[in-house]
Chains A and B, each alone.
Chain A
Amino acid sequence: MAINTPGRIAYVNARLLDPASGLDAMGGLLTEGEHIVHFAPGLFADGAPVGAQVVDCDGACLAPGLVDMRTQLREPGQEHKESFKSAGRAAVAGGITSMVGLPNTNPVIDDEAAVEFVARRARLIGLAKVFTYAAATKGLEGRELAEIGLLREAGALAFTDGVKAIADAQVMRRLLSYAASHDLLVIQHPEEPSLASGVMNASEMSTRLGLRGIPREAEIILLERDMRLVAMTRGRYHAAHVSTAEGVDIIRKAKAAGLRVTCDTAPFYFALNELEVGDYRTFAKLSPPLRSEADRQAIVAGLADGTIDVVASDHCPQDQDTKRLPFNLAEFGGIGLETLLAVTLKLTQSGPLSLLQALDLVTRRPADLLGLEAGRLRTGAPADLVIFDPEAPWKVVADTMRSKSKNSPFDGHLVQGKVIRTVVDGRTVFPETAR
């Protein structure tokens, strides 16, 4: 929706946080129109400039808006679960100003028209900026390569078969090899499908509950295979939602060997473990499954030492009809847009990361990885900002969340870190009343 270009807005009395430059100081920031025009420690300490609208941050943190590199937006095709609009509302409520959708929509995003559809529809809504990946193989079938060069030109940021692994080794080899010639990024869901017919982590718990387990080896084996293929093809490879200790280790070694490999994880995998399944709680049915406590701790360690590059929400909306089922029949996935910041801040509250390190995982790192002009405070850059209180406690109540689907694995959890205001291209898009 077309809204008048904002004039000059002065954000005063803010704790400026910029992971890219290491800035952490009280100061102010000035936007004009859609861009940041000035920011500095101590700025506006003696009063705001004449003629500018003033936003008093009251000592809260002012940081680059979050960049979420893995979401499922369900539009087109499953608008009863989520839409660009509902996801956009949830995203900005979570401080996210850019997000990237997977191509597993209906129809699949595997041609240029579909990429353009996403760009056009999302632009009309004007909340968080929406980007998309495109299918790595036609129809996500894992057999023939999609037209990834053309799709890149249409705007697709990277190539993936979404929640399906590219399982065939020859297809993966060709994909990495071809993508490398265009310097394109391939994103893998690292899970060997023939080992992944279960519904939760294979463990004592799955045995006791009588549920088929997915062994950790499903992830380990595919990552190990892929590292060989990356070495062979010199491709650019990104492993999504790493969930096991060995998985982190494989990426760590590959990086040390100089392979062009990156990875992310989702808040589920560093904040929760398989005990969350409890008595068949389907909100805790995720793909990959929640793992053991030892794995969770290894994920935290991987985030602390930089092996894991990014935290992404892995937002996966599922409606009641697909979650209120016996565990074995329920769909996989949990929503995560609105809780991304607060749960990531757990890494600072009860984990080893500093505030800047934690923010880096959800701002500059994903933006740089995907080549987006976002994720840092920079004069002349789009004014995509979040103002938040890192201490403020709140309780996650799934039913009150803005996503159309309410399947939050964090339902009922207490978290700290509240978004106060979200700004996209200079305009306040959250809270709704401020628009």
Chain B
Amino acid sequence: MTDAIFAHRDLLGIQGLHPPEIGHLLDLADGQVDQCRGLDKASDAMAGRTVINLFFENSTRTRTSFELAAKRQGAEVINMQVSTSSVAKGETLIDTAVTLNAMHPDVLVVRHPESGAVKLLAEKVNCAVVNGGDGSHEHPTQALLDALTIRRRRGRLDGLRVAICGDILHSRVARSNIILLTTMGAEVRLIGPNTLVPRAFEDMGVQVFTNMREGLTDCDIVMMLRLQTERMRGNFIPSVREYFRFFGLDRDKLSRAKPDALIMHPGPMNRGVEIDSDVADDFERSVIREQVEMGVAVRMAVLDLLARNLDSMRRNQPFGGRGGV
């Protein structure tokens, strides 16, 4: 049966989801947290299901998290790491999609270095597709796990003041978080140099700050992002040293936020680049490890939900999906 609230075949992004749908996913994930903290972590909710982790980009954390989320619910899991160094990257993408689809998986978890690639792939298959991160576009399960972490700590999302700091331009995590948090009624601030936080973001309903001290003032949540040097072409910042001086999170800058402000980071951290070790390891404030735990719970909820939705969705959607380019 299709879920009464979340009636989608895929989770390709946060864009387009309504507050009740996001709230519902978070509720389901909340339930999974208890399951994971119990002695018997295993369930058979996804017994007989096949989940394929199709990663066109190196990843250990996200892949492991999805793998564990599927296995804890009794699903078969296959991990595929596809090199994108070959010339015909896109051809590989569609060919791979068609090939895997013929093996009748239930859920495909896809990560790809190009924005929009996961959607392109989703059009060619008739299983459920979860976007595990596409280029600089979206990373919906990361935004959901961040939201779950915040909601469990603060009891709500609406009305909170959240600062997202650093390399917003190249960050899919930032985009998904901006959409989710503004949709759920939080106040979002972006902090970074203009080269990494273009003013166009203001059209997405957020405030942009180039001075970190000003931007952090009275924030409830401080989300740090990794500086994605691998996606940068050309001079976005003069040096890592200079970046840390103005946009690295240290005690001094953090003092402008609320005294109980939570510190978050999607990992992997570059200590001494965007965050001081002293802050990252602060037991009282840093919820970075908790984010990892919530990641498994959120992915369990998403995989289980999409697998349950799938049967009725398959009937509605003939092979080949929506087709076209």
Task: Give chain A's interface residues, CB within 8 Å of chain B.
Answer: 197, 202-204, 206-211, 279-283, 320-321, 323-330, 407
Contacts and interface: CB of A to CB of B under 8 A. Distances in A.
Interface stretch (B45-53, B158-166, B200-208, B245-253): B200-208
Contacts of A324: 90, 94, 120, 325
A208 B204 contact: yes
Contact of A210 (B120, B135, B203): B135
23 contacts: A204-B200, A208-B204, A209-B115, A210-B115, A210-B136, A210-B137, A210-B172, A211-B115, A211-B135, A279-B119, A281-B325, A282-B325, A283-B325, A321-B91, A323-B325, A325-B91, A325-B93, A326-B115, A326-B117, A326-B120, A328-B116, A328-B135, A407-B325
B138 interface: yes
Nearest to B179: A208
B265 to A, nearest CB: 20
A281 B112 CA distance: 17
B89 A325 contact: yes
B198 interface: yes
Contacts of B136: 210-211
B98 to A, nearest CB: 12
Contacts of A280: 115-116, 119-120
Contacts of B201: 207
B83 to A, nearest CB: 15
B325 A209 contact: no
A210 B136 CA distance: 4
B186 to A, nearest CB: 18
B15 A326 contact: no
Given A280-B119, A324-B325, A326-B115, A207 B200 contact: yes
A84 to B, nearest CB: 26
Contact of A329 (B15, B114, B175): B114
A393 B319 CA distance: 32
Interface residues of B, number: 28
B233 A209 contact: no
B137 A209 contact: yes
Contacts of A323: 325
B200 A279 contact: no
Contacts, number: 76
Which 6 A-B pairs have CB atoms at the shortest separation, nearest pair first? A325-B90, A280-B116, A210-B136, A326-B114, A210-B137, A204-B203
Contacts of B117: 326
Which of B94, B117, B172, B325 is the most central at the interface, judged by chain A CB atoms within 10 Å of its CB? B325
Which of A202, A211, A329 is the most central at the interface, judged by chain B CB atoms within 10 Å of its CB? A329
Contacts of B233: 197
Nearest to B168: A207
Contacts of A209: 115-116, 137
Given A204-B203, A324-B325, A325-B89, A279 B116 contact: yes
Which of A210, A211, A327, A328 is the most central at the interface, judged by chain B CB atoms within 10 Å of its CB? A210
A278 to B, nearest CB: 10
A327 B201 CA distance: 21
Contacts of A206: 200
Contacts of A204: 200, 203-204
Nearest to A323: B325
A209 B204 CA distance: 12
Interface in B98-127: 112, 114-117, 119-120
B200 to A, nearest CB: 4
Contacts of B94: 324
Interface in B118-166: 119-120, 134-138
A328 B112 CA distance: 12
A327 B136 CA distance: 12
B137 A329 contact: no
Contacts of A329: 89-90, 114
Interface in B15-68: 15
B313 to A, nearest CB: 19
Given A202-B200, A209-B116, A330 B175 contact: no
B90 A326 contact: yes
A280 B119 CA distance: 8
Given A279-B119, A329-B90, A208 B175 contact: yes
A412 B20 CA distance: 34
A59 B325 CA distance: 40
Interface string B170-205: 001001000000000000000000000010110110
A325 B172 CA distance: 20
A367 B224 CA distance: 60
Nearest to A211: B115
B203 A327 contact: no
Which of B88, B90, B175 is the most central at the interface, judged by chain A CB atoms within 10 Å of its CB? B90
B168 to A, nearest CB: 9
B325 to A, nearest CB: 6
Contacts of B90: 324-326, 329-330
Contacts of B115: 209-211, 280, 326-328
A197 B236 CA distance: 14
A173 to B, nearest CB: 27
Which of A208, A282, A283 is the most central at the interface, judged by chain B CB atoms within 10 Å of its CB? A208
A330 to B, nearest CB: 7
Contacts of B134: 210
A283 B120 CA distance: 13
B12 to A, nearest CB: 9
Nearest to B137: A210
Contacts of B116: 209-211, 279-280, 326-328
B175 A210 contact: yes
Interface in B216-267: 233
Interface string B295-325: 0000000000000000000000000000001
Given A280-B120, A321-B88, A326-B117, 12 more contacts: A204-B204, A207-B200, A208-B175, A210-B136, A210-B138, A210-B175, A324-B94, A326-B90, A326-B135, A327-B115, A328-B114, A407-B325
Contacts of B175: 208, 210
A207 B204 contact: yes
A320 B124 CA distance: 15
Contacts of B325: 281-283, 320, 323-324, 407
Contacts of A325: 89-91, 93, 120
Nearest to A320: B325
A204 B94 CA distance: 29
A321 B90 CA distance: 8
B116 to A, nearest CB: 3
B174 to A, nearest CB: 10
A345 B114 CA distance: 38
